[in-house]
Amino acid sequence: METVKGTLDRIKVAKSQNPGIRVVYEFPNEKAAGHFRKWINNNNGYDGIVEIRVRK
């Protein structure tokens, strides 16, 4: 998950420089999205960086 942390850190910096941008992570199902939401909740500092949605 270090790769995910690095990616989210880079996104955090980009969003601080460009506050209007949106980053959306799209997952194939609710189960996968739930795993990522749980990871976000368990790792401080990453809440609100990306939007999470489930593919329709």
Between CA 24 and CA 22 the distance in angstroms is: 6
- Please work out, in degrees rounded to the nearest 5, the angle formed at the alpha carbon of residue 21 by the alpha carbons of 31 and 39: 30
**Do residues 40 and 5 lie in contact, with contact meaning Cβ atoms separated by under 8 Å?**
no
- Please work out, in degrees rounded to the nearest 5, the angle formed at the alpha carbon of residue 49 by the alpha carbons of 52 and 25: 30
Q: How many residues does the chain have?
A: 56
pLDDT by residue for the chain (56 residues), tens only, comes to: 789 999 999 999 999 999 999 999 999 999 999 999 999 999 988 999 999 999 98
pLDDT for 32: 97
pLDDT for 1: 72
pTM for the full predicted model: 0.81
pLDDT for 2: 85
pLDDT for 35: 97
